[in-house]
């Protein structure tokens, strides 16, 4: 693309309601001084390498709590458990510890139950296709009145709940109430929703590919020699990293990326793009294109290891436009710096402690998905059997 000429993002009628007005957030806003200010305000406290280093011990502690709970649960070794529940609580504790210096004690925590319910309702509304035609055909917006009323009501209830129960970090730069709501939503997406979906997809694929599980576990044993998987040593575990990448490729959590927009008429690829056009990138198509990948329908880690080990793409020296799960350029998702290490450490620690299997009587778990405008989630939360592994890491 032509740099800043397509870096603006168009207004979105429904997200506008949740963010408290146009140009209040960092995603659906023009490429402008406001965007630069908001990115600085919201990135520095949460989305930098320093933040990752500061909070990585907390993440690892929360992951250890999940491991401990699963080891105590006798049913995990027999009929199996829906591990998604514990992973969701873990991600909430990571996110809300970073934002509000608070955590939830268990799945039965009253605040956790209410917050998860409100966020689930928020997710259901944002994933709905109901509002989409109003964005693309403004004349039809009056027919969205009932739906938008639900969005306004939910926004008010969520804001009241957050104001009553949490106190945000004070930062210089003029963070408004609307900015705080955006921050909560951004972290919900970057560190909760999409990360949770990725963890679920990855676990399901590992159940269906036990050989990959064994290779990851062998790599952890041989490389770390009893040291637990941490953010700081993920770089020494290429097979584990490739597993998360391949999961993101096969099961792209956001199939259609946030639309971009050109403020002026531009030429692109020999075509004239009219002023204020919505440019939508199909990330799923790029990640699953037969012309771009060898056997894209297969869950196969070698594509990120042997086949491309010598390329600049694999070495991280340029952007691989076939795999842009987190977007790219100036508008790249800042939550990437949290999501990737959290997913890698969580999967690594699970495999260090358990062999993850399908319930007895089944060879595989269901990996069918539910597609939405901005989401691709696993259709059925997998029940998995967790067989403890001795002699690796406690």
- DSSP secondary structure letter of residue 311: S
pLDDT over threshold 70, residue 114: yes
In this structure, of 34-38, 267-271, 306-310, 376-380, the range with the lowest mean pLDDT score is 306-310
Helix (H) or strand (E) holding 38: helix 33-43
Asked if residues 13 and 131 have their Cβ atoms less than 8 Å apart, the reply is yes
> Residue 195: how many CB atoms within 10 A of its CB?
25
pLDDT over threshold 80, residue 23: no
For the stretch 256-295, pLDDT in tens is: 888 888 888 888 888 898 998 888 889 999 999 998 898 9
The token pair at 350 is 């699970």
Predicted confidence at residue 337, as pLDDT, reads 83
For the stretch 174-229, pLDDT in tens is: 556 666 666 666 666 656 788 899 999 999 999 999 999 999 999 999 999 889 99
Residues annotated in the binding site, as ranges? Answer: 333
Residue 170 banded pLDDT, cuts 50, 70, 90: very low
Q: Which of 239-253, 300-314, 380-394 has the highest mean pLDDT?
A: 239-253
How far from 284 is each of 53, 257, 363, 372, CA to CA, in Å? 31, 9, 28, 12
How far from 70 is each of 125, 148, 346, CA to CA, in Å? 32, 41, 13
Top pLDDT among 106 and 98 is at 106
Please tell me the distance from the alpha carbon of residue 394 to that of residue 392, in angstroms, as a whole number. 7
Q: Under 8 Å CB-to-CB from 57, ≥6 apart: which residues?
A: none
| Cross-strand partners of 371 | 376
Which whole number is the average pLDDT over 21-43? 72
The token pair at 272 is 């004239």
Which whole number is the average pLDDT over 242-267? 89
Helix (H, G, I), strand (E, B) or coil at 391: coil
Predicted confidence at residue 312, as pLDDT, reads 39
Question: What does the H/E/C string look like for 165-216?
Answer: HCCCCCCCCCCCHHHHHHHHHHHHHHHHHHHHHHHHHHHHHHHHCHHHHHHH
Asked if residues 381 and 86 have their Cβ atoms less than 8 Å apart, the reply is no
For the stretch 62-94, pLDDT in tens is: 999 999 999 999 999 999 999 999 999 999 999
Query: Could you tell me which of 196, 311, 192, 201 has the C-alpha nearest to residue 250?
Result: 201
CA 183 to chain centre: 15
- DSSP secondary structure letter of residue 303: G
First to last CA, the chain: 48
| Cross-strand partners of 82 | 383
pLDDT over threshold 70, residue 1: no
Predicted confidence at residue 199, as pLDDT, reads 95
Helix (H, G, I), strand (E, B) or coil at 368: coil
pLDDT over threshold 50, residue 311: no
pLDDT over threshold 80, residue 139: no
Predicted confidence at residue 148, as pLDDT, reads 79
Residues annotated in the binding site for heme, as ranges? Answer: 333
Strands 369-371 and 271-273: unpaired
In this structure, of 132-146, 201-215, 240-254, the range with the lowest mean pLDDT score is 132-146
Percent of the chain scoring above 70 in pLDDT: 80
In this structure, of 16-25, 95-104, 216-225, 340-349, the range with the lowest mean pLDDT score is 16-25
The token pair at 317 is 């020296």
Helix (H) or strand (E) holding 385: strand 383-388
Average pLDDT, the chain: 82
Q: What Rg value do the Cα atoms of the chain yield, rounded? A: 21
The helices-and-strands tally (H runs, E runs) of the chain is 14, 9
Which CATH number is associated with domain 13-167+175-388? 1.10.630.10
Measured at the CA of 132, the angle between CA 130 and CA 138, to 5 degrees, comes to 115
Give the CB-side neighbour count of residue 390, counting CA atoms within 13 A.
0
Residue 310 banded pLDDT, cuts 50, 70, 90: very low
Which whole number is the average pLDDT over 36-48? 77
- DSSP secondary structure letter of residue 355: E
Percent of the chain scoring above 90 in pLDDT: 38
């Amino acid at each position: 693309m032509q740099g800043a000429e397509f870096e603006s993002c168009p207004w979105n009628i429904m997200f506008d309601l949740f963010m408290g007005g146009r140009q209040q957030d960092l995603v659906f806003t023009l490429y402008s001084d406001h965007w630069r200010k908001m990115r600085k305000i919201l990135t520095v406290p949460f989305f930098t390498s320093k933040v990752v280093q500061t909070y990585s011990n907390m993440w690892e502690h929360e992951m250890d709590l999940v491991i401990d709970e699963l080891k105590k649960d006798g049913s995990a070794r027999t009929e199996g458990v829906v591990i998604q529940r514990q992973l969701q609580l873990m991600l909430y504790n990571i996110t809300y510890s970073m934002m509000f210096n608070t955590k939830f004690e268990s799945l039965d925590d009253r605040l956790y139950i209410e917050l998860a319910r409100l966020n689930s309702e928020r997710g259901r509304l944002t994933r709905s296709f109901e509002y989409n035609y109003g964005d693309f055909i403004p004349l039809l917006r009056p027919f969205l009145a009932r739906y938008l009323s639900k969005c306004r009501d939910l926004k008010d209830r969520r804001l009241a709940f957050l104001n009553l129960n949490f106190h945000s970090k004070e930062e210089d730069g003029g963070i408004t109430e609307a900015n705080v709501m955006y921050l909560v939503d951004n972290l919900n997406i970057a560190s909760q929703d999409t990360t949770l979906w990725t963890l679920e997809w990855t676990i399901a694929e590992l159940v269906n590919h036990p050989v990959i599980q064994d290779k990851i576990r062998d790599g952890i044993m041989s490389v770390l020699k009893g040291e637990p998987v941490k953010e700081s040593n993920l770089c020494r575990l290429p097979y584990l990293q490739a597993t998360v990448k391949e999961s993101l490729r096969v099961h792209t959590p956001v199939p259609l990326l946030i639309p971009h927009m050109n403020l002026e008429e531009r030429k692109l690829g020999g075509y004239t793009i009219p002023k204020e056009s919505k440019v939508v990138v199909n990330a799923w198509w790029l990640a699953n294109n037969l012309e771009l990948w060898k056997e894209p329908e297969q869950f196969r880690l070698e594509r990120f290891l042997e086949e491309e080990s010598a390329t600049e793409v694999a070495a991280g020296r340029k952007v691989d436009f076939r795999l842009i799960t987190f977007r790219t350029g100036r508008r790249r998702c800042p939550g990437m710096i949290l999501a990737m290490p959290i997913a890698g450490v969580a999967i690594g620690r699970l495999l260090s402690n358990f062999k993850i299997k399908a319930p007895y009587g089944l060879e595989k778990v269901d990996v069918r998905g539910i597609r939405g405008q901005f989401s691709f989630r696993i259709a059925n939360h997998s029940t998995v059997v967790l067989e403890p592994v001795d002699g690796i890491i406690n």
